[in-house]
Structure 1
Amino acid sequence: MKVLVAIKRVVDPYVKIRVNRDGTGVETNNVKMAMNPFCEIAVEEAVRLKEAGIAEEVVVVSAGDSLCQEQLRTALALGADRAIHIDTENNLEPLTVAKLLKAVMEKEQPGLVLLGKQSIDSDNNQVAQMLAALTGRPQGTFASKVVVEGDAVTVTREVDGGLETLALKLPAIISTDLRLNEPRYASLPNIMKAKKKPMDSVQPADLDVAITRHQEILSVSPPPERAGGVQVASVAELVDKLKNEAKVI
């Protein structure tokens, strides 16, 4: 079985985000970038399936400019076999990403597609669901456990009331949650080996996908600064402030 994993390049989660001067987005110049943490979990799960003898090949794909190749090489160092870079300078919307992945799926014919449930920059949580709708494949979102047996996969997912277990027929699409696994670190030998692993580069036009925009960002601004807290002398004063100032009770 072939496993296809979609990954995204984002600002490192440990970097303090700053809005750029013109208010059109966040500052990315000279800012450390990394693979989206949820995508790391998807890569780790795919590699574990390969180590268990369930998957024969792990293919990673990412859409963006040439800098995305850095994160693709990281995925190769973590255990993926080859990479596909969809080269585009455009800022892609979730629906466009789903269409690009659909075209890649039609070419690669994977038995399982893994994606992070959302990216930490836009937090849309849409691509996996849109991809399932476009391809007509069964989906399991927010997976905290994945078990592949034969031509079926069992997905345990977190819901408001607890845990839900789904049985899906392969090929299927799964988005990963935080508690699915703990990603490994790439070793130096594997980082060196990753440089020699194959990476194909394609254009959206090669996949017969037109880049269109349906949304416009009007402005981006940082959240307002929080006011400092105050100390109260008694429970009665606390209740009074919650009732009359905060108006939460």
Structure 2
Amino acid sequence: MRKLCTVHLLSNHKINSYRSTRSEKVALMIKSIKPSAQDGGVVDLSAKASDKKKTKDFVDTMMSIMQSGEAKFQFDRRHVKAVLLDMLVASIDTSSTSVEWMLSEHLKNPNVMEKVQKELEEVVGLNRMMEESDLDNLKYLNMVFKESFRLHAAAPLLLHEAMEDCIVDDFYIQKGSQAIVNSYSIHMDPNVWTEANKFLPERFLESNVDVRGRDFQLLPFGYGRRNCPRMHLALIIVCLVVAQLVHCFDLDMTEKFGIVTGRAKHLMAIPTYRLHN
């Protein structure tokens, strides 16, 4: 299943081929928020980021395979459930949670939002909606993304399994043992990150640390061969959605909240449309 996803479904070529679809979906989301912006109403940004109205084509296909008995391998309800957990929970929930937390940090740190919006005005302007191709030119925004992934990794514990007996720092690990990497602890290590509890995007100003698993001090998607196979697509979707919302709207929220893995309550904000079109 992982090879199928990595080589066919989530390859760079396949992801790029759906760029127009992503742009269309984000534009529809912005359009759905505009009436509330005009009326000064409150918008549930959590619901917008994790729309549950999904078609059941994927489930229908698996159920038909199971019921037809044409599969060349054992395929029953347990396999359907396992695939759904891998493909849906691991992809939809993690992305929507990341969008929520990034928007939360923008709202909690208005000075950061102001800098991001200023950069968007300089690079994109207010006469058009930003596009996916603009993301590489938004340096400060990318620092904000990195800092948000550091503080709010969707999966703070990375699960691995020892493929053979090995010794790590004098600890004997038996083949088949489950090894859990605490990425949250790594991201909050004061020996690596100055003022680790604070949201400081500027810490990446003179740093080449990346979120793709090449640097072991920042591992929101894991690392090595067992990293998140959906990482490239997730980065595009999460960053595009957040950037579009911040570009198109001024968001207002007076409440403050603590930093946890997931928000206890939905993120609610009042949008004000910024673009000229």
TM-score category, normalised to shorter length: under 0.3
The structure with the greater share of residues assigned to strand is 1
Between the two structures, name the one with larger relative contact order (CA 8 Å, sep ≥ 6). 2
Q: TM-score, normalised by structure 1?
A: 0.25
Query: Could you tell me the TM-score, scaled by structure 2's length?
Result: 0.23
